[in-house]
Amino acid sequence: MVKKRSTTQKKAQARKKVPIKKKIVKKKQTKKRVEVKFIGQVTRIRQTEPATVVEWPRAITHVHTYGMLSPFFEGLKKGELRATQCSNPKCAEKRLWIPPRAHCPDCHTQTVWKALPNPVIGKIYTFTRVVYAGTGIELSTPYWQVDVEIPGLATIPKSYLLYGEPRIGMKVKAEFRKKKPTNTILDYYWVPYEANA
Ligand SMILES: [Zn+2]
């Protein structure tokens, strides 16, 4: 049985000073906001008409292997346009490939290298005036990108016309940047042939 407390006891307790709980001042934990930061260089607007064109300076080293196509680039240094050809005697595709293919696109047999005899004369199949070149195309603009038909090829490779005005069917001659080569596909180009003939 619970013993009833007397009225006096109750009163005494009421008088008892209730200790103030020490206010614990908790430091407000301010969560640091993590924001995505722009760490690049601000682009400069070059022009706004007829559309916005920005300059986007970047410095990167892109490491790239020419792999099995290395002989093509070695050829350019020597002033040779080299193509590949299927080595499978049973394959119906006897034509040459430029850009070269390490393996025949038809039968997947490894190809062999053939140097085109100089001078390499082609015919302009089509052309485009390039005003804004793609990344990595380090040519002054505007320039003429030309697709040139080369006898014996399965492809119509793209390159550029060093000077002059192109027209469809125009004969052009392949030339090579042997002095200060860029070691890229830019090391061969076309020049008007008829004008030189
Ligand atoms: Zn083949």
Tens digit of pLDDT for each residue in 141-190? 999 999 999 999 999 999 999 999 999 999 999 999 999 999 999 999 99
176 three-class SS:
strand
Of 20-24, 25-29, 120-124, which one has max mean pLDDT?
120-124
Task: Tell me which long-range contacts 191-197 makes (C-beta under 8 A, separation of at least 24).
Answer: 191/161, 191/162, 191/163, 191/164, 192/161, 192/163, 192/164, 193/119, 193/121, 194/170, 195/164, 197/171
CA of 90 to the centre of ligand 1 (A): 8
Neighbours of ion ligand 1 (CB under 5 A): 86, 88, 91, 104, 106-107
Q: What is the mean pLDDT of residues 16-37?
A: 74
CA of 81 to the centre of ligand 1 (A): 21
pLDDT of residue 115: 97
CA of 146 to the centre of ligand 1 (A): 28
User: Which secondary structure element, helix H or strand E, spans residue 7, and what is its range?
Assistant: helix 7-15
CA of 102 to the centre of ligand 1 (A): 11
**In this model, does residue 23 exceed pLDDT 90?**
no
**pTM for this model (two decimals):** 0.69
CA of 121 to the centre of ligand 1 (A): 26
180 three-class SS:
coil
